[in-house]
Amino acid sequence: MKLNGNYSKLFENYLFAEVSDRAAKYQSAHPDKKILRLGIGDVTLPLADEVIKAMHLAVDEMSKKESFRGYGPYEGYGFLRESIKNYYKTFGVELNLNDIFVSDGAKSDLGNILDIFSNDNTVLVPDPVYPVYADTNIMAGRKIIFTNANEENGFLPMPEKVVKADIIYICSPNNPTGAAYSKEQLKEWVNYANSQGSIILYDAAYECFVKDDSLARSIFEVEGAKSCAIEFCSFSKIAGFTGTRCGYTVIPEELEKGGISLNKMWLRRQSTKFNGVPYIVQKGAEAVFSERGMAQIQQNLDYYRQNAKIIAECLDGLKIRYTGGKNSPYIWLKCPMGMGSWEFFDYLLNGAQVVGTPGEGFGENGKGFFRLTAFGSREVTQEAVLRIKNLLNNSN
């Protein structure tokens, strides 16, 4: 018996544990102080009424012999795939039903997709980024090249001719930087991938926050993407399904490498290792795309957008540079007064009792940066912003 030795190569990520630890220590030393958290990546608003109604109806269906459902299709029920297909039409993307695979969330599929790729591929991962891309490839022993996302390129790295990568990760709008690629910029990545025979794994988990028309909601808005890209999306951020669990992956039927269909490989993989998402959850997800569901969900998204605006305006007033906050729930700021990420974390915790996320937990280029999120409540966001303003204005 041999264990997978690659696990010992994973960087120990103490980020969120360290954040909680420092906040807990502060709280026990200052029990009278109220800590405000603007570091969370989880949503706080409940599921929309339409979603809850649809799920209740589905529960009732499960209670009757005539409408009870057992195992569902591996790739998801037709009704949900149809509504996802129609959703893509709203931003001009035509998909086939067979391109769409329903899953229990983007994180699972981002990890599981690697089953269909050989371990000797070279992988290109932006730094900083959502840690799952690097970690899942380290587990499989793949060679990883990091591409710098920094102030010079507006946290949007572009292809470099010298780098040869087989699998390219793109996350837009990005976690943690909030930066989002324009369609033109994505076109460069698509051309690059097609010219090298590479595959782009495109994480669109935050597409619902994109408002500007020049920015992409989906990589399939770009011509040529169907011959080089797989897209991952989620109901977590658009509709608060972080605990309910549902997402989807789009693998165009025409995506082939060496005459082999990646869509067919994925179906084979899913039918072997996955037994589908609960019917009740898929009915809830379908309701997200109904007219009333969408209207309710837009209200929730607007609530988070307004939080982002409140944070962004505070930073504008303090003349602190940042990306995101406009087409993203994340605000990525440059720590003021030349502070390091953890130094700024302690400064905010001690001086304003506000907790955010130190950027260096997302990669080397995150050093000296800090992530705030718009997923808190309005009251907490407003109060936190006030405290940050007071603290920084008094120290200038």
Please, which residue, 305 or 347, has the CB nearer to ligand PLP? 305
Q: CA quadruple 219, 220, 224, 229: dihedral positive or negative?
A: positive
CB of 395 to ligand PLP, least distance (A): 32
Q: Which of the ranges 85-93, 102-110, 186-194, 213-221 carries the binding residues for ligand PLP, by CB under 6 A?
A: 102-110
Query: CB–CB of 327/173 below 8 Å?
Result: yes
DSSP three-state, residue 201: strand
DSSP three-state, residue 302: helix
Separation CA 367–CA 354 (nearest Å):
19
Separation CA 95–CA 285 (nearest Å):
18
- Interhelix angle 291-318/378-395, rounded to 10 degrees, is 10
Separation CA 156–CA 124 (nearest Å):
14
Q: Which of the ranges 71-79, 104-112, 113-121, 365-373 carries the binding residues for ligand PLP, by CB under 6 A?
A: 104-112
Please, which residue, 234 or 270, has the CB nearer to ligand PLP? 234
CB of 175 to ligand PLP, least distance (A): 4
Candidates 203, 231, 286, 360: give the one binding ligand PLP (CB under 6 A): 203
Q: Does 234 bind ligand PLP (CB under 6 A)?
A: yes
Separation CA 277–CA 246 (nearest Å):
7
x/- binding map, residues 35-64, to ligand PLP, per CB under 6 A? ------x-----------------------
CB of 31 to ligand PLP, least distance (A): 31
Looking at the DSSP assignment, which residues form a beta bridge with residue 234?
Answer: 247
Token pair, residue 17, equals 């544990």
Candidates 39, 105, 131, 157: give the one binding ligand PLP (CB under 6 A): 105
In the range 116-155, which residues lie near ligand PLP by CB under 6 A? 130
Please, which residue, 229 or 388, has the CB nearer to ligand PLP? 229
Task: Name the residues that contact ligand PLP, by CB under 6 A.
Answer: 41, 105-107, 130, 171, 175, 203, 205, 234, 236, 242, 247
